Amino acid sequence: MLKGNILIKNASEVVTCSGFKAKFGKEMSDLSVIHDGAVVIKDGIIEAVGKTEEILKTYKETDFQVIDATGKAVLPGFVDSHTHLVFGGYRAEEFSWRLRGDNYMEIMERGGGILSSVRSTKAASKKELFDAAIKRLDSMLSFGVTTVEGKSGYGLDLDTEIKQLEVMEEVDLNHPVDVVKTFLGAHAVPQEYKGKEDEFIDYMIKDVLPVVAERNLAEFCDIFCEKKVFNVEQSRRLLKEAQERGMKIKLHADEIVQLGGAELAAELGAISADHLLQASDDGLKKMRDNGVVATLLPGTAFSLKENYARARYMIDNGCAVALATDLNPGSCFTESIPLIFALSTLYMKMTTEEAITAFTINGAAAVDKADTIGSIDKGKMGDLVILEFPSYHFIPYHIGVSTVEKVVKNGVLVFDKEKEGYSNACK
């Protein structure tokens, strides 16, 4: 892993998002901004942050690669905490079907949706999956993403699930963006298991999960807890087994119907519960009380023309909210961070400050890494975004357009819009 020494000075704003755990409720509004700020990164780790004048009294510019951020804002690298970045094939035709009125579950029930991507992913070679994933990570990096979560789930069998996770491991080693791996073998019900969902969960528990855990191929286990997919008890069985094997858990919860996924996440102590469009008041409060991050995916609601998750209610009632793209080939084919900022602020009633917290320290908490990434604090990884504008307020204001000029990963400049390209820095 390449690690560098960088000194960033004269920033109009250093938006630290300071903290080492998720921010709940009103805490999400506190960005801890330093004006005329500087950041020192040594051997890839943040060593100091403060006013430029004070920093330059202690550190010699000749010891560092210096970036003059005059007229620019500096933020922590963004954490996209829910994606499906490794997949084969595309489902553009399904998007057109939805435009004419077909809904997501109807498409899924006739063999489209996730099952269509399963067929394409099974047919794809590891090289094809690797090459496509690298291109997606390049795009994510240009939007300021320095850490991303990637899920399997387009295999639904041992060989293809392992293939997806192995590809994620390879792209993690060969791209500056860090990839957090999640096993989502129970993403849909294969045709041969329709009406036999309990048997499929048995298969996952007995034949697939042990291999994933023993080979340490994923940090998390996830499941699509939803009507006509996997019910609460089936989800509980798989997730508890994953916990017993030393894996952390998260789940797709209460997206289409109010099934009790939020309550299950709280019961089991999940790191996050995601989607939550239909989550109950009681379920959300239980998540809050048990420290479960609510990861919201407005791009999916936008693409499927669904109502948005109740971000304002969640924050006002003390929840910790994270935002993510849900990049996938079907319900939300986008890695656009600016789009998610626009949707969250314009349609989910989040403030700009809350949205930034949701994509930084709370995004880090949603992948259980708030102690090492997600804020500009001494001792954390040197992952930063430099905007081309003087204030973080420009992020949602420049609607749908990236304001990111430079990205620093582990103290190495890995993206620079001014030079129109990516560095060859890898791990």
Same domain, 221 and 301: yes
Kindly report the CATH number assigned to the domain that includes residue 262: 3.20.20.140
Same domain, 253 and 389: no
Cα dihedral 82/418/426/11 (nearest 10): -70
Same domain, 12 and 143: no
Q: Give the residue ranges of the annotated binding site for Fe(3+).
A: 82, 84, 252, 326
- Alpha-carbon separation of residue 161 from 87, 226, 415 (angstroms): 11, 21, 31
Among candidate residues 270, 326, 237, 243, the one with its CA nearest the CA of residue 262: 270
Q: Which residues are CB-neighbours of 331 under 8 A, at least 6 positions away? A: 104, 113, 300, 303, 304
Same domain, 215 and 195: yes
Same domain, 16 and 121: no
Rg (CA), the chain: 21
Q: Give the residue ranges of the annotated binding site for Zn(2+).
A: 82, 84, 252, 326
Kindly report the CATH number assigned to the domain that includes residue 12: 2.30.40.10
Coil, strand, or helix at residue 166?
Answer: helix
0.85 cut: is pTM over it? Answer: yes
Per-residue confidence in pLDDT tens, the chain, 427 aa: 578 999 999 999 999 999 999 999 999 999 999 999 999 999 999 999 999 999 999 999 999 999 999 999 999 999 999 999 999 999 988 888 888 888 877 777 776 788 889 999 999 999 999 999 999 999 999 999 999 999 999 999 999 999 999 999 999 999 999 999 999 999 999 999 999 999 999 999 999 999 999 999 999 999 999 999 999 999 999 999 999 999 999 999 999 999 999 999 999 999 999 999 999 999 999 999 999 999 999 999 999 999 999 999 999 999 999 999 999 999 999 999 999 999 999 999 999 999 999 999 999 999 999 999 999 999 999 999 999 999 999 999 999 999 999 999 999 999 999 886 555 454 5
Same domain, 17 and 163: no
Q: Give the residue ranges of the annotated binding site.
A: 82, 84, 91, 154, 187, 252, 255, 326, 328, 330-331
Q: Give the residue ranges of the annotated binding site for N-formimidoyl-L-glutamate.
A: 154, 328, 330
Same domain, 233 and 305: yes
- Alpha-carbon separation of residue 296 from 17, 25, 276, 311, 389 (angstroms): 19, 15, 7, 8, 27
Whether 1 maps to a domain, the answer reads no
Structural domain count, the chain: 2
Q: Give the residue ranges of the annotated binding site for 4-imidazolone-5-propanoate.
A: 91, 154, 187, 255, 331
Residue 70 belongs to domain spanning:
6-77+374-422
340 and 324 Cβ atoms separated by less than 8 Å = yes
Whether 310 maps to a domain, the answer reads yes
Among candidate residues 205, 116, 120, 111, the one with its CA nearest the CA of residue 158: 205
